[in-house]
Chains A and B, each alone.
Chain A
Amino acid sequence: MSPATALEEAYLAQRERLLRFLRARGAGDAAEDVMQELWLRLAAAPDPQAACGIAYMMRAADRLMIDRYRSEKQAASREKAWAETQPGLADNIAPAPGPERAIAARQQVAAVQQALEGVGARPAAMFRRHRIDGLSQRQIAAEFGVSLSTVESDLRRVYAAILDLRSTLDEV
């Protein structure tokens, strides 16, 4: 069996499970469409053999929903920004990223930096190794010479700080 056929079979075998996940994840009536999109992503996976695993497929489905959420949110804010600057224009063509957005991005970076300084050097360093370098909690525990539960509680503090930051930015 070629890797491509194996992937298709694995995908079909897990179809119901993936659909159920996507619906629960918020895809609702669009779940079938999202499944199509998921298939395209799986088929484009660099390692088709790895993509056959249910964990890989579930993770890809989760990622897909995160990306959809972002694009919906951005579309909504673009429409809002556009409507605010161009009253009377019903068109929703996205404006090019202007100076305002560049400033917003810089503010976001500064806010994250501040949040990381607030939680302390070790948790911030762990968070970076975890998120950017992709180390597992176990690997981080070994690297920093602390227990797994310490890593988890440190990371949890950073996650909570990042979430608080988001809520503050949203309120502005």
Chain B
Amino acid sequence: MTPDQPIRAAALDWAMQTRAPDFDGWDGFTAWLEADPAHAAAYDAVQFALDDADAALELLPEPEVAPANDNPPGWFASRRGWLGGAIAAALVLALTSVLWLSPSGTMYQTAPGETRLIALADGSKVELAGGSRLTLEGERAARLEAGQALFTIKHNAADPFVLTAGDDRLVDAGTVFDVRLAGETLDLAVAEGAVIVNPKGQALRVTAGGRAVRGEGGRYSLAQVDPNAVGEWSRGRISFENATLAEIAAELSRATGKSFSSPDTATRLSGSIALDQVRADPRALEGLLGVRVRSADEDWVLEAE
């Protein structure tokens, strides 16, 4: 009788989502339920357990916990105001990006530090980040081969836009969304509308302000994101969340076109960086990230302080 773990986890997600007063994904929820009768059973079991817990909570004395800001005094908190003043660079239209025509479609590739705006015939657009590769397979299909892209898609329920990223299929439902592919990791953030991940698989629906990250092993974890921050790289800013210095160096190389590296896969940081500052002077990262920046040949090496 115990539902499969992935179904249980999905049911828990839906229970959290439907609980939100402004939840508006009822049709997506219906679609998930219709996909498998086991989904409704798992969701019932979750709601039943939560009801019981609510009843028990009413009887329990209220614990005395003073809500407090217990964020560690990290660099992000202390330097945020400083960063806010930096003005984001405008989207730079690269003239050097490569374009191939192949039987499978048109491939666009950007060098690190470049971005490219691809306008589609129906008014949809794709902004391709630096060091990225994307193939357009017709008007309503694309494949992200590497890197990151921000999609602003004109929705057509009869002919949804389908993006393939790695092994996953992302289907739009009236949408502005950003996808980043780095090795095994796929990071989807939705600014408007919704995206359905693998409609024939887990049929995960990610709505505006939602973020789904596929890590090793192919499992998705859900998180929330500020919709205004989605695709901010196209406005000259990149953000990290709990990323290692090595990952940050790789992202910075792709975004700025300068070569960054770091042997450090242990130190993790979160935060947001205005790229034009880093382009102008890679050493600005010392102040921004609280790391040491060492110049070695043509390379900028990041080290923990």
Contact = CB atoms under 8 A, between A and B. Distances in A.
Given A113-B60, A121-B63, A167-B2, A26 B37 contact: yes
B97 interface: no
A21 B29 CA distance: 8
B44 A65 contact: yes
B95 interface: no
A140 B59 CA distance: 22
A87 B172 CA distance: 58
A134 B52 CA distance: 16
Contacts, number: 131
Size band of the interface chain B makes with A = 35 or more
A163 B21 contact: no
Interface in B3-26: 8, 12, 15-16, 18-24, 26
A143 B66 CA distance: 10
A51 B10 CA distance: 28
Nearest to A57: B26
A114 B16 CA distance: 22
A92 to B, nearest CB: 21
B56 interface: yes
B26 A143 contact: no
Contact of B26 (A58, A121, A124, A149): A58
B44 A66 contact: yes
B48 A136 contact: no
Contacts of B8: 163
7 contacts: A25-B43, A125-B65, A128-B63, A132-B58, A145-B71, A159-B46, A162-B49
Interface of B: 2, 8, 12, 15-16, 18-24, 26-27, 29-30, 33-34, 37, 40-41, 43-60, 62-63, 65, 67-71, 222-226, 241
Given A128-B62, A137-B224, 18 more contacts: A20-B30, A24-B33, A25-B30, A26-B44, A55-B26, A69-B48, A113-B60, A121-B65, A124-B65, A131-B53, A131-B54, A136-B20, A136-B22, A137-B20, A145-B70, A146-B69, A149-B225, A166-B49
